[in-house]
């Protein structure tokens, strides 16, 4: 056997033993619900990733309620699962249940949203820099409008959730230093398309039928898509009369961008589970501690980035 063949064989055996070690592990996943296309995609990617790696995934849909998430985590602990994934609906109120998981020596990985608990209570968190996402959206708007007066309406995500808090803060940072840009209305649309439309209707009424609005900033694409419908029903052209910038990069926003009805989106990958599973496998194997935060990329897409092509690429991905 040549040294090259020996090295290749050793590497293959090492990979096989890690896979065999992790195969059959049971993971509990407490998902928030299905409020958005992005959330649906995250669920799909997590389920298929678990299946590919040979894990048993116990899935629990919390229907937007923290108490359901806490009950699901307690049930995973009682079952003695090998790990717990949780996408926490809000940032506060997790200390007790995370302490229980820690005492049971079950590693917890946070997905896409953060908590304000002590980081020693979870193994790692996989997510984007949520403040940066908002900042990118704000900077894009500031550059796009230049010196023009711009009255902005903002659709916030779920109250008390880390993306709603951080995307608001980041956007405000992005437009800071541009006194011609002002947020004149800001309310939650709970990350849903239906509430995005409803709240946008009240913004339009309050702002001279929408004529006084220069731009909409939505904390996710689904709310933006709902708002686009409201703008059209008010007789205005979204994307032209009212600029639209949001976050997620789901297929429907690319469709809207390709039709000129939305202007920009900041991508949030739905594949949070891949890095989470990699971290867990290393931890199960020899106790390797991952960094406390595993950051995913955030990329800005505008109408110049072939939105029709992006739509085609993404439309079958479980969104």
Interface ranges with ligand AHR (CB under 6 A): 35-36, 38-39, 112-113, 163, 191, 220, 222, 247-248, 268
- Please identify, using beta-carbon distances, which residue of 110 and 121 lies nearer to ligand AHR: 110
Two tokens at 40? 């649906």
Residue with tokens 């505008």: 302
Looking at the Cβ atoms of 158 and 263, the one nearer to ligand AHR is: 158
Least distance to ligand AHR from the beta carbon of 116, Å? 15
Nearer to ligand AHR, 191 or 277 (CB): 191
For residue 316, report the phi and psi dihedrals to the nearest 5 degrees.
Answer: -100, 20
**Please, where are the H alpha helices in the chain?**
3-22, 37-52, 66-79, 95-103, 130-145, 162-175, 193-206, 221-233, 251-258, 273-286, 307-314
Q: Identify the sign of the CA torsion 99, 100, 105, 108.
A: negative
Closer residue to ligand AHR, CB minimum distance, 25 or 248: 248
DSSP state of 216: E
Residue 137 CB, nearest distance to ligand AHR (Å)? 12
Q: Is 132 exposed, middle or buried (0-12, 13-18, 19+ CB in 10 A)?
A: middle
Minimum distance from residue 268 beta carbon to ligand AHR (Å): 5
Q: How far is the CB of 179 from ligand AHR (least distance, A)?
A: 29
* Minimum gap (Å) between residue 105 Cβ and ligand AHR: 28
For residues 58 and 156, which CB has a smaller minimum distance to ligand AHR in the complex?
156
Both structure tokens of 182: 């002002």
Phi, psi of 59 (to 5 degrees): -100, 135
């Amino acid at each position: 056997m040549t040294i090259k063949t020996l090295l290749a064989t050793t590497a293959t055996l090492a990979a096989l033993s890690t896979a065999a070690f992790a195969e059959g592990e049971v993971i509990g996943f407490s998902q928030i619900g299905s409020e958005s296309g992005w959330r649906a995609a995250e669920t799909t990617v997590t389920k298929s990733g678990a299946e590919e790696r040979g894990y048993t995934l116990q899935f629990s849909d919390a229907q937007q309620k923290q108490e359901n998430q806490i009950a699901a985590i307690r049930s995973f602990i009682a079952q003695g699962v090998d790990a717990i994934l949780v996408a926490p609906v809000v940032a506060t109120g997790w200390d007790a249940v995370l302490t229980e998981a820690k005492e049971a020596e079950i590693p917890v990985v946070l997905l896409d949203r953060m908590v304000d608990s002590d980081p020693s209570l979870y193994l790692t968190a996989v997510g984007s820099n949520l403040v940066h996402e908002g900042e990118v959206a704000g900077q894009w708007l500031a550059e796009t409008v230049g010196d023009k007066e711009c009255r902005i309406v903002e659709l916030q995500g779920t109250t008390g959730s880390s993306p709603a808090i951080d995307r608001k803060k980041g956007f405000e940072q992005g437009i800071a230093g541009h006194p011609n840009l002002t947020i004149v209305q800001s309310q939650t649309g709970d990350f849903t398309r239906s509430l995005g439309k409803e709240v946008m209707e009240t913004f339009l009424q309050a702002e001279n039928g929408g004529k006084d609005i220069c731009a909409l900033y939505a904390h996710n694409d689904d709310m933006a898509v709902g708002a686009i419908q409201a703008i059209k029903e008010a007789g205005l052209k979204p994307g032209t009369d009212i600029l639209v910038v949001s976050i997620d990069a789901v297929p429907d926003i690319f469709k809207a961008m390709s039709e000129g009805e939305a202007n920009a989106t900041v991508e949030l990958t739905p594949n949070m589970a891949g890095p989470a599973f990699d971290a867990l496998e290393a931890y199960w194997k020899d106790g390797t501690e991952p960094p406390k935060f595993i950051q995913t990329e955030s990329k800005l897409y505008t109408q110049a980035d072939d939105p029709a092509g992006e739509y085609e690429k993404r439309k079958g991905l479980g969104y």
